[in-house]
A and B are shown apart, each in its own frame.
Chain A
Amino acid sequence: MTQRISKYQRFKMMNPIIQFFKFIYLSIKIMIVVAGGHGGTKKVN
């Protein structure tokens, strides 16, 4: 069954104060994923 977005979840999603901290958290987390390096796959180091 499909999950529904509850009223409380929606409040958290749209609350500017909560989302400000989420913005900082996501920025750091995304930076870790995307700037965390990349490399080849063909040779096992």
Chain B
Amino acid sequence: MSKIVILGAGISGHVAASHLRRKLSKEHEVVVVSPNSNYQWIPSNIWVGIGRMKSEKILFPLEPLYKKKGIGYKQAKAISFFPEGDKNEEKPYVLAEYVVGDKKSQQEKVTYDYLINATGPKLNFEATNGLIPGENKTYSVCTYTHADHAWEGLNSLIQEMKQGKKVKILIGTGHAKATCQGAAFEYILNVEQELRKHKVRDMAEVTWISNEYQLGDFGMDGMLLSYGSMTMKSHEMVEMIFEDRDIKWILGAGVNKIENGLAHYENLEGEQKAETYDFAMLIPTFSGHDFKAYDKNENDITKKLFKGFMIVDADYTPKPYEEWSVRDWPETYQNPSYKNIFAPGIAFAPPHAISKPRKSKNGTDISPAPPRTGMPSGITAKLVADNIIDSIKIGKESLHHKGSLGNMGAACIASAGYGITKGSGVSITTYPIVPDYEKYPKTQGRQLGKTFGDIGLAGHWLKLALHYAFIYKAKMRPFWWLIPE
């Protein structure tokens, strides 16, 4: 009998738990440890943030589902890792602290045979002075509670605009090393459409602010894509959309301080500038959770497990951008020191960025960190689960399932406005996610045809269809496993 412990119940943790439970017999134990009581379908937070979807529509409670499916569940947060056990506990374990109920604040040693760290990122708002969701007129859509607040803020601003107030709206990244530009891109287009719907568009100046060097970089070094019968660069496509929507843009901006209605930033020229606003949605930088790890004698071995995020089978040798390779990226998400620990999704430490790193004239790093969205999170979680299942079934380590971001496609269906007949979406697929300049040297590291973009109403329908399909899948309804990650 094996016990598999999964830390986190986001896309990655939930996918891993679902597949493990479906494919392993009941003699094996699957336990999820997460401080969150609900599963949330994060991509739809955008619609919560414009008041077009209630947050209840994008979440459901985890405990009843896990109870029904035979998955153990502890509403607790991981604190530290003991991959060799300790003097009193032979088995490896994670020290977890309960966050609710009678056991609140109690700590428990959660032992395991296999550990999947799917804790995702810490939303590091503290890294930007004054960037606090709901304060200083700044908001976030990173969680459903943040998105609810964002809609409250936006709605009250729309009411003021209806009374004749002219406003400035600023949306983008809130840190020089932030990622997830895609979410901010979706939000700015949705906000712009909502302003038109409320007939107050002419009362607002809408501005995109980002640490990208060019529009459409998205932390992926941009892309060359097929667009209809044309081949165009992603920055040309996004420029076309922003021009069409009358959205201004500020690029190469490392936001470093927020005051009430004032965003301070440094640009790549090294100039210190500031932008005023009445409503801002700025994505924070992501970081690891500052976990600690100890060996059997309780010596600190954090550096064997973590490099901010968890160390996996990537090549972390520092090298210049010109020498980066898809082979640097991990394939199995296994920790090299402790072979029964895996970190899929966002929990693994990337070997380096994907976008070309850039510094301001003052030496400040201003460029996007690598994005890791829902789809690769799901795929990497499933392959980790499949490797553990194989290892348990054959009784020895099996790493047959592999999935490097350098050999994996991804779809980004970015909402550009909500509405069954008036909505719009920007559908982008990219293959591979990490550009392979050796294989595709003439097309910016990606395969044309499989890397394409499309704009239109169908994109909105697609995003809506994915919303319902993935919530169906997450609820583990009949034949849920037929829906791919």
Interface residue count for B (Cβ, 8 Å)?
Answer: 43
Which B residues lie within 8 Å of A31 (CB)? 484
Residues of chain A lying within 8 A (CB to CB) of residue B410 = 33-34
A19 and B420 CA atoms in complex are apart in Å by 11
B458 touches A22 (CB 8 A): yes
B143 to chain A, nearest CB (A): 25
Knowing A26-B427, A30-B427, A39-B404 touch, does A13 contact B456 (C-beta < 8 A)?
yes
B244: Cβ under 8 A from any A Cβ:
yes
Instruction: Identify the B interface with A (CB < 8 A).
Output: 232, 236, 239-241, 243-244, 326-327, 329, 331, 375, 379, 383, 402-404, 406-411, 413, 421-422, 424, 427, 429, 431, 436, 450, 452, 454-459, 461-462, 465, 484
- A contact residues, total (Cβ < 8 Å): 28
Query: Which chain B positions have C-beta within 8 A of A3?
Result: 232, 236, 239-240
Contact B331 A42 (CB under 8 A): yes
A2→B456 contact, CB < 8 A? no
B484 adjacent to A13 (CB under 8 Å): no
Beta-carbon contact of B462 and A40 below 8 Å: no
Residues of B within 8 A of A40 (CB): 331, 402-404, 407
Interface secondary structure of A, over-half rule? helix
- The answer, among A19, A27, A33, A34, for a CB contact under 8 Å with B456, is A19
Residues on A close to B: CB < 8 A? Answer: 2-5, 12-16, 19-20, 22-23, 26-27, 29-36, 38-42
Among A4, A32, A42, max chain B CB count under 10 A is at: A42
On whether the beta carbons of A26 and B244 are closer than 8 Å, the reply is: no
B350 → chain A, closest Cβ, in Å?
14
Measured CA separation A40–B409 after assembly (Å) = 13
Other A-B pairs, 10, CB within 8 Å; known A2-B240, A14-B424, A36-B409:
A4-B244, A14-B456, A16-B457, A23-B458, A26-B459, A27-B462, A32-B450, A38-B402, A39-B403, A40-B402
